[in-house]
Amino acid sequence: MKKVNYIIILVLILSSNLIIAQEENVETSKFTFGFSLSEQLVAKDSGENFEVSLGYAISNDMSIYLSAANATMRSKALDKNYKLDKYAIQVTYDFAKSESTKLESIFGFSYINFDKKILEDDNNGLGIDLGIQTTFNLKSRFNYGLRIVSTFSSFSPGGILNAGIIFRYRI
């Protein structure tokens, strides 16, 4: 019973924080929830990547995102499939914006975890993310777009390139 009470209190606190975060003149808040479907390349390996993110608009031009991604990679050279996990904090900056479209730069830091099948000893560590994305349908709560992110890491067997489509919903 105590766990149920704690969960109810937590839900009330979180929902009140979301109500407080609402802008006065706009129907939506500064928070966004999104997911991405993309193709991921590591050296000569390729795979499908699924990513979920939670974002907050710091200003009209900048946003910060927390994301978690999971990719199933295929290595033709080793004839193996392996998992690649990535947890990131990224900042986006709008440098070209119109009424319904924007072009953003991406910079961030990520924690990358390779499966032990591919890297036995040093299979996780930090990386730096650089990229660009374009987002459409800005007048609506639901946005979509294209995204390319390159992750640089010293322990990775090759450069990590991620390209695909993004979907975002302003809460």
* 83-94 pLDDT, tens digit each: 999 999 999 999
Return mean pLDDT, the chain: 85
Give Cα 95 distance to the centre of its chain: 19
Q: Is the pLDDT of residue 7 over 60?
A: no
27 or 77, which is more confident?
Answer: 77
pLDDT digits (tens, 9 = 90+) for 108-147: 999 998 887 776 777 788 999 999 999 999 889 999 999 9
* Domains in the chain, number: 1
Is residue 19 in some structural domain? no
Is residue 58 in some structural domain? yes
Is residue 6 in some structural domain? no
At 159 the pLDDT is 86
Q: Is the pLDDT of residue 8 over 50?
A: yes
Is residue 141 in some structural domain? yes
Is residue 146 in some structural domain? yes
Rounded-to-integer distance, Cα 161 and Cα 98, Å:
28
Amino acid identity of residue 137, one-letter, is: N
Is residue 156 in some structural domain? yes
Mean pLDDT calculated for residue range 31-44? 94
Beta-carbon contacts of 53 under 8 Å, excluding residues fewer than 6 positions away, are 32, 33, 34, 35, 36, 65, 66, 67, 68, 168
Which structural domain range is residue 95 located in? 25-170
Is residue 113 in some structural domain? yes
Mean pLDDT calculated for residue range 2-22? 51
Domain of 55, CATH number, reads: 2.40.160.20
Is residue 4 in some structural domain? no
Instruction: Read off the pTM.
Output: 0.79
